[in-house]
Structure 1
Amino acid sequence: MHTTLIDAATLAGHLTDPDWIVIDCRHDLIDLEAGRVAFAAGHIQNAQFASMEDDLAGPKVGPDGKFHGRHPLPDRAALIEKLRQWGVNDQSQVVAYDAHGGMYAARLWWMLRWVGHPAVAVLDGGLAAWQAQGLPLVTPVATRPRGNIMEKPSLTRTVTAGELVANLADGALKVIDARAPDRFRGENEVVDPVGGHIPGARNRFFKDNLLSDGRFKHPTQLTKEFGPLFDTVSDVVMQCGSGVTACHNLLALEVAGLSGAALYPGSWSEWCADPARPVATGEA
């Protein structure tokens, strides 16, 4: 079972294995159709396509009438149904990939763990690593038999905006923000019209988890770099702009053997939508 990362050569050896499901998670936050277009132009053999907007996120406004961020989690039953459409069974090894250092693939990795499926890994280095091995892309879209995956106890944790508001009093939870430093400091008004971060949060840009070739750093290096940010991993809450790249930091922690951190799914886009919630700017 592969539960964090998988290399291109290993994946290539299982492309026709009926128990292996490959999911293409390419996306562009500006051009929302770019991922689907790229998939149609060429993808890993037998891969299915996951839309960030339609499959990996739910409605931005919840049943309570409140805005819950740009990419709220979907209904768990809806996610299970989509996984079955992709052919995922309880015994399936799922492999997610993208062309963006794993920033979108990590979201699917986390979501499968959210519904209790541990056998999910991200292609280390993504499509660049695949093509660097001389491995091909194809255009035919494979059809898979419907899967029968069942929801199980979650392997992850989440926190709400309300819990983080309450946490402002004592800071027992350590919030780590995966956005780029300029966004964290509140200096990028194009991306974040309301700039800044949750008071007390610290910054760990998700791209700092990667080597120059787009593969994840060695577990020892990740442990060393995350170490100064917290004392106990179970007290850590990962967030970002909308709960996507925060999953990259959560994956990096798992690669480092540091399990137990939580995700704030609404992240900054939900937090800053309520003017009653405080905002900090500048460095941590």
Structure 2
Amino acid sequence: MPARNELITTAELTDILSQPDLRLFDCTTYLEPAPEGSSLPYLTVPGRHSFEAGHIPGADFLDLQGEFSDPDTELRFMMPDVARLELAFGDHGVSISSRVVLYSIGTPMWATRFWWMLKSLGFEKVALLDGGLDKWKFEGRPLETGPAKGYEPATFTANPRPGFFVDKHETLAATSERGTVIVNALGPQFHKGLEPSRYGRPGRVPGSCNVSAATLLDPKTKAFVPLGEAEAKFKAQGITKDKRVVAYCGGGISATVDLFLLHRLGYDNLALYDGSMGEWAKDASLPIETG
């Protein structure tokens, strides 16, 4: 099966920047250390400051925690209700006729999170900029500064698809399903519980394998590794197309890097454990595995 065409190069984006149906978004968020005594594992800082310092011409900015996450939970970045998302995407000019391109800074995980959310809402015309702003700047391409000009508001109507997000109960059940493989996108030291976790108990969801999102990216350009290399990493962990895959990480963000590449490789039965270790590690009723 050929790779699904949801990745766009910097050269390809340059050629379509003037198209009226393009909706180009910087999705960057920064995670800052939480103050001592805080119940939160980190503070979420929207990347408006870096956006205003330099962004791809014409781009708008999306605030993941501020506009596109559930405001009624202590967990960061949880998927909100559909009505909230319809309003938020519509406010940023996204409609059924839009062509959406997403990027972020330092890592594509903020862009892949938005990609996963849009896919779950039934929106298909969405692609990621390979290498994000890092590669764009590395190549000396033009930048614009200042606040976002934004797009004319539009009507965004979702067509939600089931199964894209699972909760802790479904994830626990998946640990004993022979046809399901659970993959952790955190680094191996956190997967093995070798280092203290900012989420709570160190370790992993029992039985889960480890394909760190960081190993799926070129450390210099921040572009994705070649598909063949990604597929080899997944297969080495027993992830095959005949199995359902449940991915998780710390906050439901970096796991979408794994999901993006699995999707491009033709895997269809994919789900994200939205609460991830931010929820699992704090819940003493849930089993945890180390070593």
Q: Report SS of the residue matched to 1:163.
A: helix
Q: 2:185 aligns with which of 169, 178, 193?
A: 178
Q: State how far apart, in whole Å, the 1-side matches of 2:17 and 2:45 are.
A: 26
Q: What is residue 13 of structure 2 aligned with on the other side? A: 11
Specify the code of the residue in structure 2 equivalent to 1:11: L
User: How far did residue 170 of structure 1 move?
Assistant: 4.2
Q: What is residue 214 of structure 1 aligned with on the other side? A: 222
Q: 2:142 aligns with which of 136, 146, 167?
A: 136
Q: What is residue 38 of structure 2 aligned with on the other side? A: none
Q: Note the alpha carbon deviations across 1:46-66, whole angstroms, 9 max, x for none.
A: 2111112112321352xxxxx
Q: State how far apart, in whole Å, the 1-side matches of 2:162 and 2:134 are.
A: 29
Q: Note the alpha carbon deviations across 1:176-205, whole angstroms, 9 max, x for none.
A: 000111111223325333211110011111
Q: 1:83 aligns with which of 89, 94, 102?
A: 89
Q: What is residue 234 of structure 2 aligned with on the other side? A: 226
Q: What is residue 249 of structure 1 aligned with on the other side? A: 258
Q: 1:198 aligns with which of 201, 205, 211?
A: 205
Q: Report SS of the residue matched to 2:261.
A: helix
Q: Report SS of the residue matched to 2:277.
A: helix
TM-score, normalisation: structure 1: 0.90
Q: State how far apart, in whole Å, the 2-side matches of 1:169 and 1:248 are.
A: 25
TM-score, normalisation: structure 2: 0.88
The change in CA–CA distance for 1:89 and 1:275 in structure 2 (over 3 A counts) is same
Q: What is residue 64 of structure 1 aligned with on the other side? A: none
The change in CA–CA distance for 1:190 and 1:228 in structure 2 (over 3 A counts) is closer
Q: State how far apart, in whole Å, the 2-side matches of 1:122 and 1:148 are.
A: 22
Q: Report SS of the residue matched to 1:33.
A: strand
Q: State how far apart, in whole Å, the 1-side matches of 2:223 and 2:77 are.
A: 25
Greater fraction strand: 2
Gaps of 5+ in 2: 33-42
Q: 1:106 aligns with which of 112, 116, 119?
A: 112
Asked if structure 2 preserves the Cα contact closer than 8 Å seen for 1:234 and 1:262, the reply is no
Q: State how far apart, in whole Å, the 2-side matches of 1:48 and 1:151 are.
A: 21
Q: What is residue 30 of structure 2 aligned with on the other side? A: 28
Q: Report SS of the residue matched to 2:64.
A: coil
Does residue 258 in structure 1 map to residue 267 in structure 2?
A: yes
User: How far did residue 250 of structure 1 move?
Assistant: 0.4
Q: Percent identity?
A: 31
Asked if structure 1 preserves the Cα contact closer than 8 Å seen for 2:21 and 2:99, the reply is yes
Q: What is residue 278 of structure 1 aligned with on the other side? A: 287
Q: What is residue 269 of structure 1 aligned with on the other side? A: 278
Q: What is residue 126 of structure 1 aligned with on the other side? A: 132
The change in CA–CA distance for 1:171 and 1:270 in structure 2 (over 3 A counts) is farther
Q: State how far apart, in whole Å, the 1-side matches of 2:50 and 2:163 are.
A: 31
Q: State how far apart, in whole Å, the 1-side matches of 2:169 and 2:210 are.
A: 21
Task: Tell me how many residue pairs correspond in the alignment.
Answer: 275
Specify the code of the residue in structure 1 equivalent to 2:227: P
Specify the code of the residue in structure 2 equivalent to 1:192: Y
User: How far did residue 3 of structure 1 move?
Assistant: 5.0
Q: Note the alpha carbon deviations across 1:59-114, whole angstroms, 9 max, x for none.
A: 352xxxxx6x3321111111111111110110211111111230111101111101
Gaps of 5+ in 1: 62-66
Does residue 41 in structure 1 map to residue 71 in structure 2?
A: no
